[in-house]
Structure 1
Amino acid sequence: MAFLGADISKNKIDVCLLVAGIKGKKKQKVFTNEPCVARKIIDWLEAQKCASDNMTVVMEATGIYHENLAYGLHDAGISVCMANPYRVREFACGMDILTKNDTVDAFVLACYGELKHPDAWVPPSVEVRKLRALLRQRDALKEDVQRTANRLEKAHSTSTPREVIGSLERTHGWLSDELERIEKLITDHTDNDPGLKADLELLKSIKCVKEQVGREMLALLKDGTFKSASQVAAYLGITPVERVSGSSVRGRAHMSKTGPSIVRAKLYVAALSAIRWNKPAKAIYERLVAKGKAKKAALGAVMRKLVHMCFGVLKTRLPWDENYAATA
């Protein structure tokens, strides 16, 4: 098995091919990050006499810039692995590789694949990818609408020319209309796809998980990346992090706050409602507060509980039952 490390940026992709292990010969090349980059890398691998069925490409998820390569390689039958950037960096330090640049990172990724053999990446379905893109566009439009509304409010409070106010009003109106259109597209997409509709109904069976949180969790959990609810919670950055060592270091535990902040913010709002109306979540919150935990720390535990509930209903294919813990 040969391993190819691919360090991806917006404009270019550095690759490093290990043919005979980490101590063997390596071949490196730089490609332009463009829609057809997967085909070019495959052609280069064939020129190196590397069979696609004996090749694994290791990369990190770099925003959206890795998608052309990842989907192109997967569609061509080449195994793709998505490595955790933090683990790769720690792996490099463990190999005494302290230098960090694109060429070195590609080599480190190839070594990581050679020694760690990470699980193969399974891309989400076309329907889930479309839902994720629509949600991303909706969130961007929401920010634009709010930003324009703030500017319009300030314009009305100052001696702003009428032409500028008119421009802001037209911009705000267009953005609001476009946001409404995207919201309808999201609703139609989930309603018209039987699988997504059934999954969303399962998620909404959980008290305090409504359309907003349900769709976000649906797009996340149907990704196929996560094998447990704990992995999802860690990805969303709602797991506690401690910093304690000996008798002198007594750091306060805090939420890691890695991963997508938009999903985390929506889970936080859902948790505020859950501590009142969701019986298991309310019990966790009250128990932790009674033990002297800070209220925000208890809310973090409720957020994790909601993630576990969402993961559970999709895994078991059963609607949520608030009395399940009591009867189990």
Structure 2
Amino acid sequence: MHKKIIGIDVGKKELRTAHKYEASNGKFKVKRKKFPNTLKGHTALLAWAKKITNKEGKEHIHFIIEATGVYYEGIATFLHDASSMISVLNPKYVKSFAESFGVRTKTDSKDALVLVEYGSAMHPDLWTPPPPEYRILLSYHRAIDSLKHRRTAILNRIEALEISHPAPGPILEEERRLLVEVSESIKRLEQQIKSHIRRHPGLKKEVELLMTISGIAWITSVLLVAVMQGGRRFKSAREAAAYLGLSVRENLSGTSLKGRSRLSKRGPGDIRKALYFPAITAMRYNPDVKALYNRLVQRGKVKMVAIGAAMRKLVHIAFGVLKHKRAYMALAT
């Protein structure tokens, strides 16, 4: 089956597309167009794609998107629901592919074209959206996480107001009212998550399995179940860690190290941040994570590199528990 490939570089507010085709003179040309990242923009993008590809023949359209943050989810789900062929790529693989062709400068127009070239060369698997129960679970978690950040900001303002002279009473009273309101919203959403999980026995079992891992509390288990879709989303633990931006990058030249090892930090930053404190806890109470952390520190690794490794180890353990549907058993003693 012959396919026409369209790359979509996704931003918060804008979608930039690229389509490479062979002109009548035998030379390859590129068509580009921008669309707003809204439902209206999604509809216009699909109509444009069908129009330009129908001029070249009746081939199927294959959309290639990079999974950056959360902003790709709307267009990806829209295209899938419209029965389009779509692949969602790990940013790490796209970056490596681009660098192999000497593309090192990141621009939106180049990004979309790189996606076209990746699709033509690599023939990536087709993407399907997560089952609704996982999608809803992740949405709940993100809403709670956003409210918790807001609550922290309010608490900081209250603390500052309480030590100011003279204390601005009406403002302080309003901030305290907002604090109660946000805290109650968090409680309501947590209860809604619990109700949602009870309605899906599979989710309940998966959350309970992850809570057998030292360092992973209830809210973190909810997040990992949603992201990993119960262990079905990724083929391996390494793939899961790479998606979350927890793979290690090293700058090497010959036998000399040019710079320190560091996390790739590609992929959803909100999820990566949510794993930081669970990893800190696991470094104290999880035998496997603790042994890894201590080993790296003894080898002279800087603290943040060792913490990043602990986060990655926690993801690997969670993936294994979900994949095999077995409670966690520590290997280290």
**RMSD between superposed Cα atoms in Å:** 3.2
Equivalent residue in structure 1 for 2:48, among 44, 47, 50: 44
Comparing 84-93 with 201-210, greater Cα deviation is found at 84-93
Comparing 2-11 with 237-246, greater Cα deviation is found at 237-246
Aligned AA for 1:6? I
Q: Distance in 2 between matches of 1:100 and 1:303?
A: 28
Aligned AA for 1:4? I
Q: Distance in 1 between matches of 2:291 and 2:75?
A: 46
Q: Distance in 2 between matches of 1:288 and 1:247?
A: 21
Cross-structure match for 1:9: 11
Shift of 1:228: 0.9
Counterpart secondary structure, 1:222 = helix
Shift of 1:207: 2.6
Structure 1 unaligned regions, length at least 5:
none
Q: Distance in 2 between matches of 1:105 and 1:301?
A: 29
Counterpart secondary structure, 1:322 = coil
Comparing 10-19 with 71-80, greater Cα deviation is found at 10-19
Cross-structure match for 1:185: 192
Query: Higher relative contact order by CA 8 Å / sep ≥ 6: 1 or 2?
Result: 2
Counting only pairs closer than 5 Å after superposition, residues 54-133 of structure 1 correspond to structure 2 as 54-85=60-91, 87-89=93-95, 91-92=97-98, 94-95=100-101, 101-133=107-139
- Post-superposition Cα deviations, 1:168-209, rounded to whole Å, max 9, x if no partner, equal 122122111112212222222223221211111111122332
Q: Distance in 2 between matches of 1:40 and 1:85?
A: 25
- Post-superposition Cα deviations, 1:201-246, rounded to whole Å, max 9, x if no partner, equal 1111223322122112112111854221112223333333333434
Please identify runs of 4+ aligned residues in structure 1 that moved more than 6 A.
Answer: 50-53
**TM-score under structure 2 normalisation?**
0.82
**TM-score under structure 1 normalisation?**
0.84
Cross-structure match for 1:301: 309
Equivalent residue in structure 2 for 1:18, among 17, 20, 45: 20
1:161 aligns with 2:168: yes
Q: Number of aligned pairs? A: 325
Equivalent residue in structure 1 for 2:218, among 190, 211, 222: 211
8 Å Cα contact 2:67-2:267 kept in structure 1: no
Distance 1:272 1:91, change over 3 A: closer
Comparing 47-56 with 235-244, greater Cα deviation is found at 47-56
Comparing 182-191 with 250-259, greater Cα deviation is found at 250-259
Q: Distance in 1 between matches of 2:281 and 2:122?
A: 42
Q: Distance in 1 between matches of 2:58 and 2:218?
A: 42
Distance 1:42 1:241, change over 3 A: closer
Comparing 180-189 with 242-251, greater Cα deviation is found at 242-251
Equivalent residue in structure 2 for 1:240, among 227, 245, 248: 248
